[in-house]
Amino acid sequence: MTNFKLFHIVDISLNLEKVQIIQYFNKGLSAVRQNLLLRKIFIFIVLISGLLGGCGTVELTVRKNLDHPNIHPKTVAILPFTLASSAPEDVPAHKLFRECFFNYFSYLGYVDIPLETIDSKLQAAGLRKFKKVLELSPERLRDILGVDAVIKGQVLDTSNFTGGLHAETSIKAKIIMLDLRTGETLWETEHTESTYSGILSPTVVEIIQDQMENVKVHQVLYKTAKMFSLSMIREIPDPAEVWHEKIRLPQITSIETNLKPNQKLHPNDQIYVNLKGDPGLKGSFGIGSWKSNIPLKEIVPGMYS
């Protein structure tokens, strides 16, 4: 069970939007001209929307056949991501992307190591500047981290543009999985993920709202990193089915909540989660990208709540 402090799912001020709309259009445009302008914009959107929608598919190149359970790495560490160029407003896009990617990668059938554990082991080995980690040999990395494989990520470029009726945020990154047992690259990808807002909104209210949200650089970069991560997870080879007979994955037996749809979370709102698995372990659950690693208590052997 988890109790929520005040957390906004939906927080839209109509009064603020109305004021901004009035300010936006009180510059001599008549109602007729406003409608004509919006219609022209809508037609333009329809014509170019196909061009803007082609950035979501990740082309992941698998370098080795991973069908055999002995080939698939079991333990994987996600190394600190690096940043090739400065990020908008000095937001640490590489750290943000790494955390976001880890949240979704952990759903695959690998034994993933917590990021804090990875960083502490690297620092204990004298590697306080994480860029030097990329120079280490596979053998040295395996000695330090004790894992079968690592994931290396480099954020090549980031951008966040807001202007007029158009807002765009993008992340370009290169990510590989390296087998530390053999030194071979198992898979790799170089991809640009972009999210658009404003011009695709059907109403002026939503256009202004999207523009305001896009100014919050951290939030829009995280949103783009989330889309990037989800696109990658769909393509990454998942060993869960290969190891199905050897690994007994935990099962969620029930979820109960007193939350109501389309309303804010309030103090004392509750979610009950029951999970069945091997006894004597530590259990936790997450709520999307908002909060993860919420602890579960073993109430009877093998049953966590």
148 & 261 share domain: no
Q: Cα 256 vs. chain centroid, distance in angstroms?
A: 26
Tokens standing for residue 297: 């208590």
> What is the rounded distance in angstroms from the CA atom of residue 55 to the CA atom of residue 132?
32
78 & 225 share domain: yes
148 & 294 share domain: no
88 & 220 share domain: yes
**Structural domain range at position 280:** 2-7+248-304
Q: Are 198 and 214 in contact (CB under 8 A)?
A: yes
* The pLDDT of residue 41 is above 60: no
> What string of DSSP letters covers 60-87?
PEE-S---STTTS-SEEEEPPPEESSPP
> What is the rounded distance in angstroms from the CA atom of residue 214 to the CA atom of residue 276?
41
Which single residue is written with the structure tokens 């009877």? 300
**CB neighbours of 248 closer than 8 A, spacing ≥ 6?**
277, 278
Most confident of 21-35, 172-186, 227-241, 268-282: 172-186
182 & 259 share domain: no
Confidence of residue 248 (pLDDT cuts 50, 70, 90): low
DSSP class of residue 301 equals T
Among 233, 261, 288, the domain-final residue is 233
What's the average model confidence in pLDDT over 189-216? 60
> pLDDT digits over 112-133, tens only?
899 999 999 999 988 877 778 8
| CA neighbor of 205 nearest in space, from 79, 37, 19 | 19
Distance of CA 116 to CAs 31, 146, 222, 267, Å?
57, 15, 20, 29
- 281 is a domain residue: yes
221 & 269 share domain: no
Tokens standing for residue 131: 């860029």
pLDDT of the residue at 223? 84
229 & 185 share domain: yes
> What is the rounded distance in angstroms from the CA atom of residue 112 to the CA atom of residue 150?
10
- 12 is a domain residue: no
Choose between 279 and 180: higher pLDDT: 180
Q: Are 167 and 197 in contact (CB under 8 A)?
A: yes
Arithmetic mean of pLDDT over the chain: 72
pLDDT of the residue at 90? 66
252 & 167 share domain: no
Q: Residue 83 is which amino acid? A: L
> What is the rounded distance in angstroms from the CA atom of residue 133 to the CA atom of residue 114?
17
pLDDT of the residue at 165? 60
59 & 144 share domain: yes
> What string of DSSP letters covers 50-65?
HHHT-S----PEE-S-
Distance of CA 224 to CAs 111, 212, 227, 292, Å?
26, 16, 5, 19
Give the SS3 label for residue 259.
coil
pLDDT of the residue at 243? 63
pLDDT of the residue at 119? 92
> What is the rounded distance in angstroms from the CA atom of residue 240 to the CA atom of residue 247?
8
Q: Are 112 and 76 in contact (CB under 8 A)?
A: yes
Give pTM, 2 decimals.
0.61
Give the SS3 label for residue 143.
helix
pLDDT of the residue at 174? 92
Terminal Cα distance for the chain, rounded: 7
Hey, which residues does 75 pair with through a beta bridge? 111
> What is the rounded distance in angstroms from the CA atom of residue 257 to the CA atom of residue 200?
34
